[in-house]
Chains A and B, each alone.
Chain A
Amino acid sequence: METVTITMKNQPKLYLEADNVSPDKFAGKKASEIAALHAYEGREQTTLGKYFEIAGEGGATAADTRIIVKGDVSRVKYIGMKMSAGEVLVEQSPDMYTGAWMQGGKLVVKGNVDSFAGIGMKGGEFLIDGNAGDYLGAAYRGDWRGMQGGLIRVKGSAGSDIGYFMNGGTIIVHGNTDVHVGTHMEGGRIVIKGNAPSKVGGQMVGGEIFVYGTIDVMMPGFKYVQDEEVEVDGERSKFALYYGDTGERHPKRKGQIVYGKLYLKI
């Protein structure tokens, strides 16, 4: 596997849209070619080389390409967008849309990510050592196709509206989240090892949400069904299972009505 290291040398004045920072785009390219890949700063089209020092070269394919992003990238958006394979390691904290529409490979952020990280994600592994912002693994504005597959793991806490319109894959948050978890969720699994204040599973049609800590205010559309032991993230625990959101439509599968499942750790 070849490694390309890009290091911030000139901070953009505005935010930089760097969707070309992805193994798919770097594959098969030399440092000079990578430097020539375009980015947008505001409405001006520019190149990655204007902002980043680029060392190394891409592998033959995306799967053979590893990117290390060094320096202050707090003004850089869309790192790892639509990446399908390979690896990206971001040493500090990037701005919004990190790993958006990611399809495969591995994306690791050592710092925090801002909002809309992993939106519309279809596959791959996305690890965040710090905290995540709002709309983690959600759908793009207006869209009904949120996270479809893959894994997002946040070691810290997450903001509001995570897993909005989620219908596949897994989001694990080791800390707490803000309000609105799994709104309009139709599938997939959200695991919150800390607390979630309120609006958990609003208008949820299907899928599963696990909360290990507390929910301050439950949505009124959830009803308690039974206690269940379930294996989550490699360990078995006992939960109180709620069905919901009973105010929402629910499809039938094999004659049975399918509900969203909300598990509260006992």
Chain B
Amino acid sequence: MTEYIIRNGFVFDPTQGIKGDKADIAVKDGKIVKSTEVSSKAKTVDASGKTVMAGAVEIHAHIAGPKVNEGRNYRPEDKLFTYKPKSASSRMAGGFSIPTTFKTGYEYARMGYTTAMEAAMPPLYARHVHEEIKDTPIIDEGAYPVFGNNWFVLEYLKNREIENTCAYISWLLEASKGYAVKVVNPGGTEAWGWGLNCLTIDDPVPYFDITPREIVTGLIEANETLGLPHSVHIHQNSLGNPGNYTVTLDTLKLAEGFRAKNKFGREQVLHSTHLQFHSYGGDSWANFESKSKEVMDYVNKQKNITIDTGCVTLDETTTMTADGPFEHHLTELNHLKWANVDVELETAAGIVPYIYSPDIKVCEIQWAIGLELALMAKDPMRCFITTDHPNAGPFTRYPRIIKWLMSAEARKKQIESFKHGAKMVEATHIAGIDRELSLYDIAQMTRAGPAKALGLSHQYGGLAPGMDADIVVYDFNPEKPHKPEDIEKAFSAAAYVMKTGVPVVINGEIVSNGNKRTLWVKAKVNENPQVMRDIRDKFLKYYSVTQANYDVSSHFVPNPHVIEVDATH
């Protein structure tokens, strides 16, 4: 029985409404308990003068799988001068925008993240995703299989067969050991197989003759019929195009009329990811402008939507998405190398390096939009900080984003350093926003909020007794004056991180590889012989592998944490 008590820190815990009060957090056997429940033998961690939060929860990052690995393969230059030799408790680690699996685990842990979700798993390559997840130390992980361009889904939803869609989702979540229903450019990626795209929610998908509108509403209905822990998680149509905010609003409105049905306390029916890429005005790069206000005005009043920001960090990075046509569009813009993959009946992917330069007006505007979304969010429990790693920047820049969000002075300094600062200010709202997020807001946006949206608020994102002992101590005293740089420094390397009761980081250094788990969702549905037959048929007719070689068997997931859902009726 291992017991700990983390004493005297300034605690920020939205699940209990604690806003920086001094408190002790007690831990017994990997769980948080009341301070009275640990014995006098409990090891003490002195957190006096420091900030204490729950372990942070990453809701959207591309950190494992074939797409990420192709990025690593074709960008050796991303690893140049980044390697760190092994130490007693960590393996050799390197890479910047597409770090090795080991570096991914270590860097998340050092920043105080204890859970992360891989945002797009091609089901056919789910084994590769799980092999990489297995090799990513410390953090709990899950992966979202992609459904928005899947032939089964397109056919069932074309005929409004929600029950069959549910049965297929249930089967695929189990076969791929997936966590949630991810949708990437609904219909558009399939259309890319014909050299086309779906740029509005009413553009029909070739051959299947279904629209993104029908795909999204059908999947929301199926998701809520199943009562999955997370909602439909959507990367919308027309990503990255000037003027796309109208498509964004059209898609968000599809959530109207749906109510969340689940036993996990999740309230949203639609999570709109990396919204920065979808909040663009203008009709060309010349008159490109921020439409964050229009988008956030809608998000703020629509309670059944959550978002994450997709903040641009002004780095050289690697874009990678299942949005095949978008990546082609991007390589035509920047002429850098392009990788494209088609995944049979399921999805596709593209990869292109990208430099978000502080000397380019469009990049400066993108930087502003990402931050505006978070600064305009009225409910920090529904708006989460991401960089859509590595698309808008590497996740290792979260501390810098937190600095920009918490300090108007830091934003002002950044704007002054831009080459086109004045023009950028004209096209955005950022200069007129003086809001500075509090540590409590940050705890909501990085911990309690994403945990709740994932249906995991019973175990992650808070410090209430009974929750997993994922605890972070930052060397940051909220009662003392500080410079903006102090925020970034404190959040970059936590003073202490505990993951389910095991200390994994002390003074910013990795001390243990922890007890990593893989989360997946087992949704039980009524027997559905038709869907089982359809699956068999498709494997015989179209897939390049047999059904027997498709399933992610349990040895790929050595330490599973299964969330069960009963949707039988």
Interface set, chain B 322-353, CB cutoff 8 A to A: 335-337, 353
Q: Is A239 in the interface zone, CB < 8 Å from B?
A: no
| Segment with Cβ contacts to B, from A2-10, A125-133, A139-147 | A139-147
**Apart from A142-B76, A142-B77, A142-B78, what are 5 other A-B pairs with CB-CB below 8 Å?**
A43-B85, A139-B77, A141-B77, A143-B80, A144-B353
Q: Is A249 in the interface zone, CB < 8 Å from B?
A: yes
Which residues from B are CB-within-8-Å of A140?
Answer: 76-77, 80
Separation of A249 and B76 alpha carbons in the complex (Å): 25
Task: Identify A141's interface contact among B76, B335, B336, B337, CB under 8 A.
Answer: B76
CB distance B335 to A249 under 8 Å? Answer: yes
> What is the minimal beta-carbon distance from B102 to any residue of chain A, in angstroms?
16
Q: Which residue of B lies closest to A43 (CB)?
A: B85
> What is the minimal beta-carbon distance from B150 to any residue of chain A, in angstroms?
32
Residues on B lying within 8 angstroms of A by beta carbon are 74-78, 80, 85, 335-337, 353
Which residues from A are CB-within-8-Å of B336?
Answer: 144
Which residues from B are CB-within-8-Å of A143?
Answer: 77, 80
Q: Max chain B CB contacts within 10 Å: which of A139, A140, A142?
A: A142
Q: Mark A133-171, 1 if CB is under 8 A from B, else 0.
A: 000000111111000000000000000000000000000
> What is the minimal beta-carbon distance from A145 to any residue of chain B, in angstroms?
8
Residues on A lying within 8 angstroms of B by beta carbon are 43, 45, 139-144, 249
What are 19 inter-chain pairs, A to B, with CB distance below 8 A?
A: A43-B85, A45-B85, A139-B77, A140-B76, A140-B77, A140-B80, A141-B76, A141-B77, A142-B74, A142-B75, A142-B76, A142-B77, A142-B78, A143-B77, A143-B80, A144-B336, A144-B337, A144-B353, A249-B335
6 nearest A-B residue pairs (beta carbon): A143-B77, A142-B76, A142-B77, A141-B76, A140-B77, A142-B75
Which residues from A are CB-within-8-Å of B74?
Answer: 142
Separation of A142 and B77 alpha carbons in the complex (Å): 6
Q: Which residue of B lies closest to A40 (CB)?
A: B85
Which residues from A are CB-within-8-Å of B335?
Answer: 249
Separation of A139 and B75 alpha carbons in the complex (Å): 12
Separation of A142 and B316 alpha carbons in the complex (Å): 14
Q: Max chain A CB contacts within 10 Å: which of B74, B76, B77, B85?
A: B77
Q: Which residue of B lies closest to A45 (CB)?
A: B85
> What is the minimal beta-carbon distance from A81 to any residue of chain B, in angstroms?
10
Separation of A143 and B336 alpha carbons in the complex (Å): 10
Q: Which residue of A lies closest to B80 (CB)?
A: A140
> What is the minimal beta-carbon distance from A115 to any residue of chain B, in angstroms?
15
Which residues from B are CB-within-8-Å of A45?
Answer: 85
Separation of A140 and B79 alpha carbons in the complex (Å): 11
Which residues from B are CB-within-8-Å of A43?
Answer: 85
Separation of A144 and B78 alpha carbons in the complex (Å): 12
Which residues from A are CB-within-8-Å of B78?
Answer: 142
Separation of A184 and B336 alpha carbons in the complex (Å): 11
Q: Which residue of B lies closest to A186 (CB)?
A: B335
Which residues from A are CB-within-8-Å of B353?
Answer: 144
Q: Which residue of B lies closest to A143 (CB)?
A: B77
Which residues from B are CB-within-8-Å of A144?
Answer: 336-337, 353
> What is the minimal beta-carbon distance from A207 to any residue of chain B, in angstroms?
15
Separation of A140 and B78 alpha carbons in the complex (Å): 10
Q: Which residue of A lies closest to B334 (CB)?
A: A144
Separation of A140 and B337 alpha carbons in the complex (Å): 14
> What is the minimal beta-carbon distance from B143 to any residue of chain A, in angstroms?
27
Separation of A142 and B96 alpha carbons in the complex (Å): 14
Separation of A31 and B100 alpha carbons in the complex (Å): 38
Q: Which residue of A lies closest to B79 (CB)?
A: A142
Separation of A139 and B337 alpha carbons in the complex (Å): 14
Separation of A43 and B78 alpha carbons in the complex (Å): 20
Which residues from A are CB-within-8-Å of B85?
Answer: 43, 45
Which residues from A are CB-within-8-Å of B337?
Answer: 144
Separation of A142 and B318 alpha carbons in the complex (Å): 13
> What is the minimal beta-carbon distance from A191 to any residue of chain B, in angstroms?
26
Separation of A144 and B331 alpha carbons in the complex (Å): 13
Separation of A141 and B80 alpha carbons in the complex (Å): 10
> What is the minimal beta-carbon distance from A260 to any residue of chain B, in angstroms?
14
Separation of A144 and B75 alpha carbons in the complex (Å): 10
Separation of A139 and B76 alpha carbons in the complex (Å): 11
Separation of A45 and B85 alpha carbons in the complex (Å): 10
Separation of A43 and B74 alpha carbons in the complex (Å): 24
Separation of A143 and B337 alpha carbons in the complex (Å): 9
Separation of A45 and B75 alpha carbons in the complex (Å): 26
Separation of A249 and B338 alpha carbons in the complex (Å): 15
Separation of A203 and B147 alpha carbons in the complex (Å): 39
Q: Which residue of A lies closest to B336 (CB)?
A: A144
Which residues from A are CB-within-8-Å of B80?
Answer: 140, 143
Q: Which residue of B lies closest to A82 (CB)?
A: B81
Which residues from B are CB-within-8-Å of A141?
Answer: 76-77
Separation of A122 and B241 alpha carbons in the complex (Å): 35
Separation of A142 and B336 alpha carbons in the complex (Å): 11
Q: Which residue of B lies closest to A249 (CB)?
A: B335
> What is the minimal beta-carbon distance from A229 to any residue of chain B, in angstroms?
33
> What is the minimal beta-carbon distance from A190 to any residue of chain B, in angstroms?
21
Separation of A38 and B27 alpha carbons in the complex (Å): 44
